[in-house]
Amino acid sequence: MNNLRGQVAVVTGAAQGLGYAIAKAFVAEGMKVALLDIRGDILQEVAAEFTRLGGDVLPITVDLSDAADTQAAIDTVLAQYGTPRVLIHNAALLITRSMLEITLEQWQKEINIILQAAFILSKAVWKPMIDAGGGSIVYLSSGSGYKGFVEEVAYNPGKHGIEGLMKCLALEGQEFNIAVNCATPGAPINTPMSDSNYTEAQKKTWVDPALLAPAFVFLAQQDAAGLTSNRVAARANGTWDAIDLL
């Protein structure tokens, strides 16, 4: 496995929830961390916190539903930090609507944040990772990546889509020493996105996202010679289970 100290990581959705926990774990590993999120005010507070912890971080406010904004954000990372060793695409949007209720604009926004952003970010770092001798890309999936749920008319196909993209890129990445995996929370987690979609009774079963962060450190250390083409379920006790999808 690869030493992460001094390496560059990109984490989307880094201002809160699981993205925050992953980014904080990378800071603890001594990585330079680009923090991408649409909530600029919260992101600046997070960046200040990580800096106080001794971290080297680059906060970038970005609307991942917008292709040009997404491209500009990753271009900034490449210009200021150089080639990322790790890309974690954690950001997502869940609009619970039935087929009768959802609008095309809502559908496109969800798909863009989940799937289009995954493509743009991965495309931007792919050649630099090849030139650097490898890297690790991780997409956040969920049960929606392999099962169907009502009122997830956009979220379901978005998560299925990133699992498909992962399988394709894992094959292409083998030649270039790039690991590509998906990760799913192995337990319900306490995040702002979940908070708006579940009952108080359901929330009592949630776990702290920080308990899942060790699995992402492990995935960040991978290259094509290690774990790739897997859906990894991150457990609350710091362990994980992997399913090879190729």
The predicted structure's pLDDT at residue 2: 84
User: Rounded mean pLDDT of 67-71?
Assistant: 98
The predicted structure's pLDDT at residue 204: 60
Concatenated DSSP letters of 152-200 = BTTHHHHHHHHHHHHHHHHHHHGGGTEEEEEEEESS-B--HHHHTTS-H
Report the alpha-carbon angle 123-126-130, nearest 5.
165
User: Where does the pLDDT of residue 148 fall: very low under 50, low under 70, confident under 90, or very high at 90 and above?
Assistant: confident
Q: Whole-number mean pLDDT of the chain?
A: 92
Describe the crossing of helices 213-220 and 17-28 by its angle, rounded to 10 degrees.
Answer: 60
Question: What backbone phi and psi angles, to 5 degrees, belong to 240?
Answer: -155, 155
Question: Quick check: 200 pLDDT over 70?
Answer: no
User: Where does the pLDDT of residue 196 fall: very low under 50, low under 70, confident under 90, or very high at 90 and above?
Assistant: low
For residue 65, the tally of other CB atoms under 10 A from its CB is 19
Please check whether residue 183 is in contact with residue 166, taking contact to mean a CB–CB distance below 8 angstroms.
no
User: Rounded mean pLDDT of 24-48?
Assistant: 98
Contacts of 235 (CB under 8 A, 6+ apart): 186, 187, 212, 215, 241
User: Where does the pLDDT of residue 201 fall: very low under 50, low under 70, confident under 90, or very high at 90 and above?
Assistant: low
Question: Quick check: 29 pLDDT over 90?
Answer: yes
Q: What is the SS3 assignment for 46?
A: helix
Task: Using a pLDDT cut of 90, give the percent of the chain over it.
Answer: 78
Question: Quick check: 208 pLDDT over 90?
Answer: no
Query: Residue 209: is it exposed, middle or buried by C-beta count within 10 angstroms (0-12/13-18/19+)?
Result: buried
Of 7-11, 168-172, 186-190, the poorest mean pLDDT is in 186-190
Concatenated DSSP letters of 76-128 = HHHHHH-S-SEEEE-------B-TTT--HHHHHHHHIIIIIHHHHHHHHHHHH
* Structure tokens belonging to residue 125: 């770092």
* Structure tokens belonging to residue 192: 């702002």
Neighbouring-strand partners of residue 60: 36
Question: Quick check: 52 pLDDT over 90?
Answer: yes
The predicted structure's pLDDT at residue 187: 65
Pick the residue with more confidence: 209 or 65? 65
Of 9-23, 119-133, 155-169, 188-202, the poorest mean pLDDT is in 188-202
User: Where does the pLDDT of residue 159 fall: very low under 50, low under 70, confident under 90, or very high at 90 and above?
Assistant: very high
User: Where does the pLDDT of residue 234 fall: very low under 50, low under 70, confident under 90, or very high at 90 and above?
Assistant: confident
Q: Which domains does the chain have, with CATH numbers?
A: 8-244 (3.40.50.720)
Question: Quick check: 238 pLDDT over 70?
Answer: no
Q: What is the pTM of this model?
A: 0.93
* Structure tokens belonging to residue 12: 């989307």
